[in-house]
C-alpha cells in the first residue's frame, strides 16, 4: 500500500480494478482508488487543491487539477483522518498516478504541498 508523509500529513492509497465498468475489448479500463489523509501534526489543516499526473501506457500523460477532492475541501484537526474514493480511466491495461495536495495551516494560513505517493493501475491479469 503506497504511503507518503509530508509535513506530518500521511497519505495512503489503495487501488482496485473496476471490472463492472470496464471493457477491456474496447480499451476502457477503470480503476478505483481510495485515499486516506491523516494529520499527524499539531495544527489544523485544510486541503485546498489537488494536482494529478496520470500516465497511461497507450495515451499521452494527463494533468488534472482542481479545488479540493471529490467536491470537498476537508479540514483535518490534529489526529484526524479523511478518506475518499475516486476513479481513473485508462485506455490501456497499465498506468500510474501520482499527485500533490495544496494544504493550508489554519492558524497562520501557511500553504504547503503534500505529496501523494505514486501508485500503479494494473489490469489484474497483467500482474500474473
The full set of domain ranges for the chain reads: 3-122
CATH node for 3-122: 2.60.40.1470
pLDDT of residue 1: 85
Give the gyration radius of the chain's Cα atoms: 16
Q: Give tens-digit pLDDT for 72-98.
A: 999 999 999 999 999 999 999 999 999
Cell digits of residue 117: 505517493
Distance (Å, whole) CA 104 – CA 48: 7
Q: Give tens-digit pLDDT for 99-113.
A: 999 999 999 999 999
Amino acid at each position: 500500500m503506497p504511503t507518503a508523509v509530508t509535513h506530518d500529513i500521511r497519505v495512503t492509497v489503495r487501488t482496485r480494478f473496476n471490472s463492472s465498468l470496464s471493457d477491456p475489448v474496447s480499451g476502457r479500463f477503470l480503476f478505483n482508488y481510495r485515499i486516506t489523509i491523516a494529520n499527524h501534526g499539531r495544527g489544523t489543516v485544510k486541503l485546498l487543491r489537488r494536482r494529478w499526473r496520470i500516465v497511461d501506457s497507450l495515451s499521452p500523460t494527463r494533468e488534472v487539477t482542481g479545488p479540493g477532492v471529490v467536491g470537498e475541501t476537508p479540514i483535518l484537526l490534529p489526529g484526524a483522518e479523511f478518506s475518499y474514493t475516486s476513479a481513473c480511466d485508462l485506455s490501456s491495461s497499465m498506468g500510474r498516478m501520482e499527485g500533490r495536495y495544496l494544504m493550508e495551516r489554519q492558524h497562520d494560513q501557511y500553504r504547503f504541498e503534500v505529496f501523494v505517493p505514486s501508485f500503479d493501475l494494473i489490469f489484474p491479469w497483467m500482474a500474473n
